Structure 1
Amino acid sequence: MRTLVIGDIHGGLRALHQIIERAKVTSKDKLIFLGDYVDGWSQSPEVIDYLIQLNITNDCVFIRGNHDELLLHWLKDNTDNLLWYNHGGEATVIAYEKVSDATKQSHILFLQSLKDYYLDDQQRLFIHAGFTNMNGINFEYFPRLFYWDRTLWETALALDPNMLPTDLLYPKRFTLYNEIYIGHTPVTRIGETVPIKKACIWNVDTGAAFKGPLTIMDIDTKEFWQSEPLNNLYFDEKGRN
């Protein structure tokens, strides 16, 4: 059995189909999704439908992303959020115009069931964005940071690669878990389109919301498979700004 981690999908069902096929995923594989299933490309409702069905055949872990939380508020409370609308929400709102009330209710249940994080028995942490408390996830005062924080990744990028975990100034957050898998901040911001490791952190968001591919990675072997760039798969759409 493999354990496979999947980066931010952002409504790109075609890319999700590609990586499932290219990684030759079977029902024996455990799948850990890092969140942001929606917003950006036009198939957010279809992505959620697919994930609900995939959870029947596979052992799946679904982490909550900030965009998933924004969609939940909109579906439940009809809460308009201009900032969300301008960062991928517009495509989602348009897509849901064709979705039945019954399907919307099933999506609400799915979104409410998402996990803030997942910690496996090998002290490998899976979280959408990060955490700020120096003592770890169980001590975080503001749980919304699990799917909004960027300081964990920014600190990893700024860290001197020659520093050792035993050094006095080494960030304590990086000593708590053997590995940390995140999405949220695409590696395309540093000119990359493949999973990047800094310190103990693996960033698997390879920019599918924009012009990058979607990625699935085997966490034991670090082998990964990618889709075509999303702007090629959705050539007639603008995606996220």
Structure 2
Amino acid sequence: MRTLVIGDIHGGLLALEQALQRAAVTTKDTLIFLGDYVDGWSQSPQVLDKLIELQTIQKCICIRGNHDELLLQWMKDGKDNAQWYDHGGEATVLAYEKLNQTHKNIHIRFLESLEDYYLDDKNRLFVHAGFTNMNGVNYEYFSKLFYWDRTLWETALALEPSMLPSDPFYPKRLTLYPEVYIGHTPVSRINQTVPVNKACVWNVDTGAAFKGPLTIMDVDTKEFWQSDPLNELYPNERGRN
């Protein structure tokens, strides 16, 4: 019985299925998905179908990502914007042209059910992007920060390795939880393709939206499994810009 955390998928169903197979996932495993299931590659609707299916056979926690929220706004309210379209939304819009309204409504309900964050029984935090309140996620003023904030990761990256949590200048946000698991900001930005740990933060977004693999990691052992790079699984597509 493992607890497995999964990074940003961005419409890459082939990568998700490959990573699940390589991790030898069973129905006894708990799966925690960190969000951004859509936008980028061509199979966003199929990714949501897969997540809905997994929820029926095992424990799955599905966290809300900013791209998932953008899709929900488009599906429910017709809210569109050029920036979303240029950053993966185009592939999603085209994919949803093939679905009937009944199918779309199932996805709307799934997107509405996503959680802003998850705290497990060991006080480990799972959130798409981060949080800003110095007292923790229960005190956050604006829920959108859970799936848009980058400052938590930027702070962890900038921290001097020699600093200790007991230091009076140590960032308080990095002392509240023993471990924080995030996606949102791909580690490819620091030239990595594997999960990166800085302070208490584990970044599991290994760049599947672009040319990186999708990662599944065991939160207890830190063993991880990866798909092939997404641009190799979808050679005729461009993914996200």
- The TM-score range, normalised by the shorter chain, is over 0.9
Q: Is 1:221 the equivalent of 2:221?
A: yes
Q: Partner of 2:119 in structure 1?
A: 119
Runs of 4+ more than 4 Å apart = none
SS of corresponding position for 1:61: strand
Residues 192-231 of structure 1 aligned to structure 2 (within 5 Å): 192-231=192-231
Aligned residues: CA RMSD? 0.4
What's the offset of the Cα at 1:163?
0.1
Alpha-carbon distance in structure 1 between the residues aligned to 2:80 and 2:181: 31
Question: For structure 2, which runs of at least 5 residues remain unmatched after alignment?
Answer: none
Alpha-carbon distance in structure 1 between the residues aligned to 2:72 and 2:97: 15
What's the offset of the Cα at 1:79?
1.0
Alpha-carbon distance in structure 1 between the residues aligned to 2:125 and 2:194: 20
TM-score of the two chains, using structure 2 as the length reference: 1.00
Residues 85-234 of structure 1 aligned to structure 2 (within 5 Å): 85-234=85-234
One-letter amino acid of the counterpart of residue 126, structure 1: F
Question: For structure 1, which runs of at least 5 residues remain unmatched after alignment?
Answer: none
TM-score of the two chains, using structure 1 as the length reference: 1.00
Alpha-carbon distance in structure 1 between the residues aligned to 2:24 and 2:57: 14
Alpha-carbon distance in structure 1 between the residues aligned to 2:117 and 2:80: 27
What percentage of aligned pairs have identical amino acids? 73
SS of corresponding position for 1:98: coil
Alpha-carbon distance in structure 1 between the residues aligned to 2:142 and 2:101: 33
What's the offset of the Cα at 1:142?
1.0
Q: Partner of 2:72 in structure 1?
A: 72
One-letter amino acid of the counterpart of residue 223, structure 1: E
One-letter amino acid of the counterpart of residue 142, structure 1: F
Q: Partner of 1:50 in structure 2?
A: 50
Q: Is 1:33 the equivalent of 2:33?
A: yes
